[in-house]
Structure formats: structure tokens, C-alpha cells
Amino acid sequence: DAGITQSPRYKITETGRQVTLMCHQTWSHSYMFWYRQDLGHGLRLIYYSAAADITDKGEVPDGYVVSRSKTENFPLTLESATRSQTSVYFCASSESRGLEGYTFGSGTRLTVV
Amino acid sequence: GENVEQHPSTLSVQEGDSAVIKCTYSDSASNYFPWYKQELGKRPQLIIDIRSNVGEKKDQRIAVTLNKTAKHFSLHITETQPEDSAVYFCAASRGSQGNLIFGKGTKLSVKP
């Protein structure tokens, strides 16, 4: 599990600010994912990436931007944070999209005030 | 689109009893079904999974069953212990190889 790390662990930001959440994995997994977890909604996919420079939208991509210049890193940026983006964000990685389980990072709790 | 329904949303059992959590999915092409356990404040962790060519899989006190015809799968925990208390998520692949879609979770409480 130490092979996928997220930072920061906690973040408080103001409405309208740009904030970037970091995700790093050491397994060279092809696929990386960003989920948000909210009470009553479970885990919802924001964006995913199949390889370096290949990204695609998930269920709830509005207000978020991702990039993947290197296989091991997959940062998530909130361009102009809103209160509705207060959530716990989990990064995950896997060798496949739907043929094996994902390994999750320890999460970032983001509060937008 | 693809949907995964999970029931119940909360489940309370006495230590030593069995617990069953059920999920249904809508895409008949789904072929991979993992289960995750998330303890309070921690990350979701894979505890067991099953593929569409298998009807049942066991790992010590936990088991998963799959009914492809009815498009539902279940997690069974026997001889529950207080440390089994957590939120459990089911998931299904979108189609044969697509992203995992997660259910909304079941909060299991095991009372000593």
C-alpha cells in the first residue's frame, strides 16, 4: 500500500482559489484514477488515465483538470474551488481498467471555505 | 448507463452472527466484481473479488457469490467480529473491461 501516496493529507482552501492534489505511485501501473467520496454518494470517478498523456473524463469531471506527464504521477487540479468540492479525494492505480482491483491512496480531505 | 445498487445501507449484527450485503448491476457484459472494506478514516481496501466465470469464492470468513442470470452478487461474512465493523463497497466493471462502478456502500456494525 505504501506504493501509492497522496499529498497533502488535509487541505483547507478558500472559494475561488486553485488547488492541486498530488498522487504518486511506484508500481508503474498503467491506469490511475481520481475519485471523490461524499456521504450518500459512495465513490464517484472524476478522471482517469490509461497512460502518460492519455486522460479521460469520469462521472463528475466538471471543475477539475488532470495531467499525466509521467506514468507515476497524476495530479488533480481544482481550477477555482467551490464549496461543493469539499470532499475526500482518493487516488487509485491498477494495471487494468476493469479486470482487477484498484489500489487506493490514503486520501486527501479537502475543505473549501 | 451502468448502475450498481447496494443494499442495505446500514447493517447491525451481534458478534458471531453472519452478515450479508447484496449488490445488483445492470450491464450484462460486466465480468469483474470486487469488494472493498473501508475502516473509519482509512482508504478502501480490496478484500475479495470474483469474475464472471466463477459462481462462488471463499477466503476464510468471507465469501462472495455471483448470479449472472439475475445480475446480482453478494458478500457473506461469517462469525463476525468487532473488527469487521467498517463500510463495505461492491463494484462492477463497466462492460467487460471498463472502469469499476461502485455501489454507495454498506455500514456494518458488529456489536460485542
Nearest chain A residue (CA) to B2: A59
Task: Give A97's DSSP letter.
Answer: S
Q: Is the pLDDT of residue A6 over 60?
A: yes
- Residue-level pLDDT at B1: 66
Rounded to the nearest angstrom, the minimum Cα separation between B93 and chain A is 5
Rounded to the nearest angstrom, the minimum Cα separation between A76 and chain B is 18
- Best of A57, A104, A106, A108 to substitute, by most chain B Cβ atoms within 10 angstroms, is A104
Nearest chain A residue (CA) to B35: A101
State pLDDT tens for residues A23-80. 999 998 999 999 999 988 889 999 999 999 999 999 999 999 999 999 999 999 999 9
Using a CB-CB distance cutoff of 8 angstroms, which residues of chain A are in contact with residue B95? 98
State pLDDT tens for residues B73-96. 999 999 999 999 999 999 999 887
State pLDDT tens for residues B21-75. 999 999 999 999 999 999 999 999 999 999 988 899 999 999 999 999 999 999 9
DSSP per residue over B16-57, as a string? TS-EEEEEEES-TT--EEEEEEE-TTS--EEEEEEETT-SEE
- Best of B27, B30, B43 to substitute, by most chain A Cβ atoms within 10 angstroms, is B43
Nearest chain B residue (CA) to A91: B43
List the one residue out of A107, A98, A105 whose CA is nearest residue A31: A98
Q: Is the pLDDT of residue A100 over 90?
A: no
- Residue-level pLDDT at B2: 75
List the one residue out of A97, A36, A37 whose CA is nearest residue B105: A37
Using a CB-CB distance cutoff of 8 angstroms, which residues of chain A are in contact with residue B99? 33, 45, 48, 58, 97-98
Q: Is the pLDDT of residue A1 over 60?
A: no
Instruction: Point out the residue among A1, A42, A98 whose CB comes nearest to the CB of B99.
Output: A98
Q: Which residues pair with B62 in a beta bridge?
A: B59, B77
Which of residues B3 and A8 earns the better pLDDT score? A8
